[in-house]
Structure 1
Amino acid sequence: MTKANPAGTAGETLDAALRSAAARLAEAGVPSPRVDAELLAAHLLGETVGRVRALAFTDAPPPEGFSDLVAERAARVPLQHITGKAHFRYLELAVGPGVFVPRPETETVAQLAIDAARRTPSPKVVDLGTGSGAIAAAVASEVPDAEVHAVELSPLAYAWAERNLAPLGVHLVQGDLRTALGEHSASFDVVVSNPPYIPAEAVPNEPEAAEHDPAMALYGGGADGMELPAAAARTAARLLVPGGYFVMEHAEVQAPAVARLLAADPAWTDVRTHLDLNDRPRATSGIRRTVTDEPVREEPMASTRERMLP
């Protein structure tokens, strides 16, 4: 356990320090000030948040360095960069500068990929643009018989992904999601992707994202941010076996565009939009068309779209 802070206020208790920290973080605009204060204390103490809350009912002092970490968080440095870890589903991932911090809404996308993988014996799965490796790690840990691959272009993000994925036996490749895994064409049962998708002019409101998430992980290319999502869909069509499953995260406002993109491509059938835990359209999926359900070429595209969309 970390020793008490000798530089702190004489006689200050952990409870008082947490209250002061929460007020400071709230003033700085941090969305969950009390929880973040408790997480910082837990990080320094090497304890759980539950244990920190219990200690706050005693005369226990705050941990050494607590005020310094609170100051960092008040400057809107991401909590995960300060602690060096991010929680995603049942996992604790190593994260830091140079990698996109996984978001809770992406857990819904991971669940869709996991459900699809579980429907296939010994499935082969790939995560395109894996970042920290969050989705690939979730699939590997929750579908033990899966052969999981992951692709990441950024050298910095690749280093974090390697740290997270190596213990799970995931096959990690440093490469461009637009061209990667050429030797694996038509061999995957599930392709999942959370590609960069923010439009060029849409700077994130949160300082944690705008100032600390790498731009390479945010902006999807083009005025509408759709260049990389469209590329991920093309790669998925190349990599999947007939009947294989593709699911991709996107911004809620992009849901209609992504659905139209897949529905207009004869490679896809059964195009569906999926809501996240906040009931926002967060992901779109499609099934790689088989030869037997190839559409009639003379059929008008409008009626094809109407048939494919839910």
Structure 2
Amino acid sequence: MDTDSEDTSQATVRTPLSRALATAVADLSAAGVESPRVDAELLAAYVLGIPRGRLLVVDSLRAGELSRFTGLVAERARRIPLQHLLGTAAFRYLELQVGDGVFVPRPETELLAGWGVEHTAPGATVVDLCSGSGAIALSVADEAAPGRVIAVERSPAALSYLRRNAAAFPVVEVVEGDVTDPGLLAGLEVDVLLCNPPYVPVGTPVPPEVSEHDPDEAVFGGDDGLTVIRPVIALAAALLRTGGVVGIEHDDVHGEAVPELLRADGRFTEVTAHADLTGRPRYATARRT
């Protein structure tokens, strides 16, 4: 037998992309993945090294590509986060490095980041508390013209990703700190303060991607989900200049609780509740008196 010819033949075997995607979608659906078609296409594009939109011009996969693709699909079916498999998470106009030890930013947080961008005047000082991968801080740096952006995070693992992601933005300063410390950033005068804190009440059921891969300290906020939000509000009142603004993301069960906490503090006005694109309560904003 001519083994060279056999190897060449195996290398040229191709599988229709449509068939590979159909199999992947079926496997991911059976595993309970929420967006099986999108995830399958993103994994295929990743293997091929092309944008997802370019899949329309690809008709087949080589044997090696198919092997890589099916391997990644199998991992996704085990509910390993898609972003961990890709190594990055898309957020607004950014691609952020993510992986074990850092919270994967969610699409709903793009709304708070957008609000922050809209309220950042040229030269403003912006603080992003519980920064994680840096999604909010870097979006403000990328889309507005702040004079200074301070991204605060306490987790060593998350700080590693935050520093890598922030390296391309000279205006961003990474600070290791605990947002429950009332003396954090003492003496700083802030124009915009943003925070996506851990806010899920302990005991709330969450998907395997969250329970098995996102750090608990970045997800759960105590029995009522407000353990971190309370000191964040007090810290915002201490740091914001008169007229400065704050935006805090929260769980959909906190649509009344977080605005009420802002009002009860007594140092804020224009307290406003905001919903996400599904109509669920998602973040609250206010202005320092």
**Same fold per superposition (TM over 0.5):** yes
RMSD: 1.9
Q: Name the TM-score, length of structure 2 as normaliser.
A: 0.91
Partner of 1:15: 18
Q: Does 1:189 align with 2:159?
A: no
* Structure 1 residue 115 displacement after superposition: 1.0
Partner of 2:178: 176
SS in 2 for 1:12: strand
Partner of 1:111: 114
Q: Does 1:38 align with 2:41?
A: yes
Question: Structure 2 stretches of 5 or more lacking a match?
Answer: 1-8
The code of the aligned residue for 1:36 comes to D
Partner of 1:237: 237
C-alpha contact 1:13 1:61 (8 A) present in aligned 2:
no
Separation of aligned partners in 1, 2:54 and 2:37? 15
1:68-93 CA distances to partner (integer Å, 9 max, x unpaired)? 10100000100000010000000000
C-alpha contact 1:185 1:240 (8 A) present in aligned 2:
no
Partner of 1:146: 147
Query: How many aligned residue pairs are there?
Result: 278
C-alpha contact 2:275 2:283 (8 A) present in aligned 1:
yes
C-alpha contact 1:186 1:238 (8 A) present in aligned 2:
no
Separation of aligned partners in 1, 2:188 and 2:89? 33
Partner of 1:211: 212
Report % sequence identity: 46
Q: Aligned ranges for residues 1-310 of structure 1 at < 5 Å? A: 11-55=14-58, 58-61=59-62, 63=65, 64-117=67-120, 120-169=121-170, 170-179=172-181, 182-185=184-187, 187-204=189-206, 206-221=207-222, 223-289=223-289
SS in 2 for 1:271: strand
* Structure 1 residue 186 displacement after superposition: 5.0
* Structure 1 residue 231 displacement after superposition: 1.1
1:13-67 CA distances to partner (integer Å, 9 max, x unpaired)? 2221111111111111111112111111111111111112320xx3443614111
Distance 1:156 1:59, change over 3 A: closer
The code of the aligned residue for 1:269 comes to T
1:130-188 CA distances to partner (integer Å, 9 max, x unpaired)? 01100001000011343110100100011011111121121001110122774543500
Question: Structure 1 stretches of 5 or more lacking a match?
Answer: 1-5, 290-310
Q: Name the TM-score, length of structure 1 as normaliser.
A: 0.85
